[in-house]
């Protein structure tokens, strides 16, 4: 074994010595490798890293907190567990998926026009800030275009000659006396004009119009968007570009678009909730007017002129029972409204506007149901219903729907049982008050119905004001901690990469050359030996 190792060491040394005999070749290649290294350092564009930081806010932070309620309305709201339409939790993975979605990136690309590359002839660098021209397309073209279209602009004899080329429709030539130039092609309509604030001669240009969805797909791979930590709602967005303003504008516009999308969704959901509450308030107003009319007719018919004074003693004795009955009856009405809303097929994937305070808190079926609906709607808004995440959320909604039905049903049964117990106590008290006039007892029933309707009416009004205020106080979903900024040190070109390249070429080119030369020599000798043998 020791002899084999010694032979291997001797063989390796002989190979090294054999190659070192050609040290002049290694030195020559090393000197020549300075040329590509210098060209790399001089001509490779100075590329920078651009970064931004945002914090994804919870729903209660976006809404500015709950309204300050007071009096009996506050007690009723607390007993019914009424609050906002969201649990306030943040699923950071869903937010990252939305930030990198093709739909959101595509809107950012169209806003900034970064799907259009402007270059001077024989140049490898695109223009951004100093671009003298602006190529745009109509909305239909931006949406349907599915191939690159190249525009070659040349000035000849005081005219503008534009040649277009695409894979599907080939080449077309247009001549215009001046800008703007309206270009109609089989795959879309384009307009070429001076960039805002520029009226000077643009010179010759090569312009490529890319489909926005293709550019968005590339940016999704190039952008690095990740949470700061698993327990944090802070997200870092980074990209690299040799056009520093281009990178800064892309990150800032992406954050702006993300906030706009979240705000539009919240406005839409709040408008639906507001319409629902308005309809219920109108119904309660009519019912309350009818009840007040019945009370007036009853008092006139039965000549009850001072019934409030007569009932005062009774109310003092039964105040606790009355307050509890009013709360329970009001809760019954609210549960019926919720049950009707949830069971309506048209509201299958709409948020339940009023939440029931159940055991389990944030983990109750109704709150989990609303949270998943919010996630599903936002995912579909920024992608499509066929997205695997959207399909999974839809399945969860369908599975939770029955548990929501059961939760509301159980709550209704519990309230009805509680009402029955209270009324049993009320009957026992009435039995001890046989001398109380029947007319006044009937009047109390009407008065109680009026108070129940008033309680529900006040709750619905308060809820409506809360939703309306939340619409006015709509805040950004993402709080900008650091607007996009350019890091001080460029990430390319790097001297280290140039040095590694020089070392690689210095070692590999002579070794490969000498090895191939040796193998060819061996083959030639073998060929001659075989030839001589014949």
- The 10s digit of each residue's pLDDT in 174-215 is 999 988 999 999 999 999 999 887 766 678 899 999 999 999
Instruction: Give the C-alpha separation, 29 to 503, whole Å.
Output: 10
Helix (H) or strand (E) holding 100: none
- The 10s digit of each residue's pLDDT in 397-438 is 888 888 888 888 888 888 888 888 888 877 776 765 554 566
339 touches 406 (CB < 8 A): no
Task: State the SS3 of 49-61.
Answer: EEEEEEEECCHHH
Instruction: Give the C-alpha separation, 497 to 505, whole Å.
Output: 12
pLDDT above 90 (res 460): no
Binning the chain into helix, strand and coil, the percentages to the nearest 5 are: 60, 15, 25
Buried/exposed 156-165: b ≥16 CB within 10 Å, e otherwise: eeeebebebe
| Residue 170: closest CA among 191, 185, 158, 183 | 185
State both tokens at 464.
Answer: 């409506």
DSSP per position, 45-90 = --BEEEEEEEEEPPHHHHHTS-----HHHHHHHHHHT---SS----
Cβ atoms within 10 Å, residue 32: 13
Instruction: Give the C-alpha separation, 287 to 388, whole Å.
Output: 47
Compare 92 and 320 and report the one with higher pLDDT: 92
Q: Confirm whether pTM is higher than 0.75.
A: no
94 touches 378 (CB < 8 A): yes
The domain limits of the chain are 2-44+493-525, 55-95+258-482, 116-210
Cβ atoms within 10 Å, residue 177: 8
CA angle 155, 160, 166 (to 5 degrees): 100
- The 10s digit of each residue's pLDDT in 43-93 is 778 899 999 999 998 765 554 444 334 444 444 444 444 444 444 467 888
């Amino acid at each position: 074994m020791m002899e084999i190792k010694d032979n291997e060491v001797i063989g390796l040394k002989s190979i090294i010595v054999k190659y070192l005999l050609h040290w002049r070749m290694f030195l020559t290649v090393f000197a020549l490798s300075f040329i590509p290294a210098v060209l790399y350092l001089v001509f490779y564009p100075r590329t920078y890293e651009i970064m931004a930081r945002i914090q994804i806010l919870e729903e209660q932070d976006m809404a500015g907190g709950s309204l300050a309620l007071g009096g009996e309305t506050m007690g009723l709201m607390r007993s019914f567990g009424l609050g906002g339409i969201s649990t306030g939790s943040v699923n950071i993975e869903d937010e990252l998926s939305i930030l990198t979605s093709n739909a959101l990136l595509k809107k950012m690309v169209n806003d900034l026009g970064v799907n259009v590359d402007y270059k001077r002839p024989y140049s490898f660098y695109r223009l951004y800030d100093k671009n003298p021209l602006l190529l745009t397309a109509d909305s239909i073209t931006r949406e349907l275009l599915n191939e690159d279209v190249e525009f070659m602009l040349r000035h000849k004899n005081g005219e503008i000659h534009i040649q277009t080329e695409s894979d599907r429709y080939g080449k077309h030539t247009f001549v215009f006396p001046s800008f703007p130039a309206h270009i109609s092609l089989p795959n879309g309509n384009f307009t070429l004009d001076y960039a805002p604030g520029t009226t000077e001669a643009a010179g010759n240009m090569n312009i490529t119009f890319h489909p926005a969805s293709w550019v968005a797909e590339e940016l999704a791979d190039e952008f690095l968007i990740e949470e700061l930590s698993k327990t944090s709602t802070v997200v870092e967005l980074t990209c690299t570009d040799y056009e520093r303003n281009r990178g800064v504008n892309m990150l800032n516009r992406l954050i702006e678009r993300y906030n706009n999308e979240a705000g539009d969704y919240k406005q839409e959901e709040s408008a639906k909730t507001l319409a629902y509450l308005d309809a219920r308030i109108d119904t309660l107003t009519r019912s309350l007017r009818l009840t007040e009319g019945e009370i007036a007719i009853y008092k006139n018919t039965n000549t009850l002129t001072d019934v409030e004074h007569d009932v005062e003693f009774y109310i003092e004795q039964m105040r606790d029972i009355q307050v509890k009955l009013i709360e329970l009856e009001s809760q019954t009405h609210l549960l019926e409204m919720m049950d009707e809303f949830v069971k309506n097929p048209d509201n299958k994937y709409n948020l339940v506007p009023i939440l029931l305070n159940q055991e389990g808190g944030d983990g109750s079926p109704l709150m989990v149901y609303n949270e998943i609906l919010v996630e599903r709607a936002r995912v579909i808004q920024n992608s499509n219903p066929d997205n695997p995440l959207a399909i999974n959320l839809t399945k969860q909604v369908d599975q939770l729907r029955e548990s929501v039905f059961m939760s509301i049903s159980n709550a209704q049964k519990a309230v009805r049982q509680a009402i029955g117990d209270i009324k049993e106590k009320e009957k026992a008290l009435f039995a001890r008050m046989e001398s109380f006039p029947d007319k006044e007892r009937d009047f109390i029933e009407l008065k109680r119905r009026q108070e129940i309707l008033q309680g529900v009416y006040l709750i619905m009004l308060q809820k409506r004001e809360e939703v309306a205020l939340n619409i006015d106080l709509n805040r950004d979903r993402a709080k900008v901690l650091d607007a996009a900024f350019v890091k001080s040190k460029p990430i390319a070109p790097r001297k280290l990469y140039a040095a590694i390249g020089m070392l690689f070429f210095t070692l590999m080119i002579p070794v490969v050359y000498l090895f191939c030369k040796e193998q060819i020599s061996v083959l030639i000798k073998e060929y001659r030996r075989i030839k001589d043998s014949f």
